[in-house]
Structure formats: C-alpha cells, structure tokens
Amino acid sequence: MGSNGRRRGSLTCSTLAPATSVAVCARCPPVPSVAPVTGSRPVAWDAQGAVLFDLDGVLTPTAEVHMAAWARMFGDLFAGLDTTRPDLRGADTSAYTDADYFAHVDGKPRYQGVADLLAARGIRLPQGSPEDPPEALTVCGLGNRKNVAFTAILEREGVRPYPGSVALLDHLRGLGVPVAVVSSSANAPAVLAAAGLAERFDTVVDGRVAADLGLAGKPQPDTFLHAATACGCAPERAVVVEDAVSGVRAGAAGGFGLVVGVDRGAGADALRAAGADLVVADLGELA
C-alpha cells in the first residue's frame, strides 16, 4: 500500500478507458484535456467487479427533502414555543430560514444540528435520549420529530433520482456489474423505495446495518469494504462513487480500484484532495 493506505501497482489506469476529457487519475501523470470522444466512456465499466454508490447526493437529491423536513420541524417549533416560560424567556423564535440551515445544521449529525441551532437561538432544552418520542421537547425528541417529517415528505412527494445516475445504473445492469448502496443514513431503504430504486440493489449497507455490525462510519472505509465483500468483490476491483469529502476519504482509505467524486457542491478540488481519482458534475457523463 502507499503511504495514504491505497493499494498501488496492479490497479493503475487500466480502470480508466484510454480516451477521456474528465478523468483525473491521482496515480498517473497528468493527462492533457481533450475533447469528448463520441462513443467512448471514461471508465471501463465492464472491467469492474462492483460499483458501490453513496445515496444522498449521488443517486437522489435528498438534501432538498432533508431541508424541507428541517424547515417543517423548526418552523412549527418556533411558531408554537411558549416564550413566557422562565427557561425560554429571551429565546429568538423568529422565522426559520435556509440561512439557519446552512449556518447551523447542514452536514451535521441530526441531534448535533438541533443542539447547535437551538443554542444559536438562545433556546436551552434537555438533551434527552434517542429513544425519546417525537413529541418530546428535548434535543433528541426534536431530532426524531425532524425524521418523522422527513419520512412523511418522502412518502407524500417521493423523490426523483438524478437521471444521469439512473442512466449509469441502467448501463451497469446491462453489463451485469453488481451494484450496492453504502449510506450513513438510517433512512436509506425508505429513500430507495421512494425513488423507485429499491429493486435495483441487493446490497444496501445503511446506518442501521453499520450499527448492527459495529462498522465504523465514513470517513472510515468499513461500510464500503463490507459492501464489496457482500458483492463478492475484492476492494481493488470495486469502484466507490461519492459526493461528500468524508465518503471520498473512505474510498481512498479502503484501497478501492477507483474512487469517483460527484461534485454536487463540495468542489472538485476538495474531492480530488480527499482522494477522488475522477470527478464529474453528473454521473450521466460516465453512462
């Protein structure tokens, strides 16, 4: 392995097709950018043993559903909070906005996001426990209340997968390449069902599976390694597809054959710095 934990040598650019305008392989000298070549693909998908997809932001635009669920939960909370209570006197219950989300909630574990936003509003509530019901006026209860809102929005409105991602899944299915979902979220099965993708994946390693098996979460590679094993594939023959820096780091740390970064906002440079061999704006570029 190299100093950063990646297996090197046997897996060089054989995983990348020769003609490409978007491929950046960290193991090879820079390749001059060339115009797209009609009929060619940057990745030789038929040579891959399995493709392991993150879910939120890779297959589905679920961030929007999460944002709507946070807005529902905090909006209702601030509208109904009794600020005459001594412990809530002086609390800022002005309308919840997307700026609150980006400043205090985005990217954090659910309960931490609740705690940080409440702190910013001068609202002190007990931490409670993950077993708290969604009605409980505790940090964990409010986090669970947000999850109820998330599930309700999913069931009511569904979520449309990224068309480019579906195109790649179709292509892989045609080639017979095994695919898996590796997500930190415990909601992964519900999201897959709402997106109409559930039947496409025999292997789903989500937050619940990781907890049951004691697997460390991203940026540790354990959940991806477990998925590769479940697909009957050695890591060096598997591809990791991620949109988050922490997920790309997990792919880089696991010695996978190829790590594809999907830039939905993290930034191509950040994804490459985290270990992505190849960064695209949409998976349709690889289908």
Residue ranges in contact with Mg ion by CB under 5 A: 54, 56-57, 243-244
The two most distant CA atoms of the chain are separated, in Å, by 69
Shortest distance (Å) from residue 227 CB to Mg ion: 15
Q: What is the b/e burial string over 17-35, where b = at least 16 CB atoms within 10 angstroms of the residue's CB?
A: bebbeebbbeeeeeeeeee
Shortest distance (Å) from residue 174 CB to Mg ion: 25
Rounded to 10 deg, the angle between the 62-80 and 139-157 helix axes is 130
Considering the candidates 54, 206, 243, 277, report the single residue annotated as catalytic: 54
Nearer to Mg ion, 204 or 244 (CB): 244
Query: Is there a catalytic annotation at residue 54?
Result: yes
Q: What is the distance between the alpha carbons of residues 185 and 8, in angstroms, rounded to a whole number?
A: 31
Provide the edge-to-edge strand list for the sheet that holds 50-53: 203-205, 179-182, 50-53, 238-242, 258-262, 278-280
Nearer to Mg ion, 243 or 277 (CB): 243
Shortest distance (Å) from residue 244 CB to Mg ion: 5
Nearer to Mg ion, 140 or 182 (CB): 182
Q: Find the residue with minimal CB distance to Mg ion.
A: 57
Nearer to Mg ion, 251 or 255 (CB): 251
Query: Is there a catalytic annotation at residue 87?
Result: no
Q: Are 286 and 280 in contact (CB under 8 A)?
A: yes
Long-range contacts of 133-141 (CB under 8 A, 24+ apart): 139/111, 139/114, 139/115, 140/111, 140/114
Considering the candidates 46, 56, 106, 222, report the single residue annotated as catalytic: 56
Shortest distance (Å) from residue 219 CB to Mg ion: 12
Residues catalogued as catalytic: 54, 56
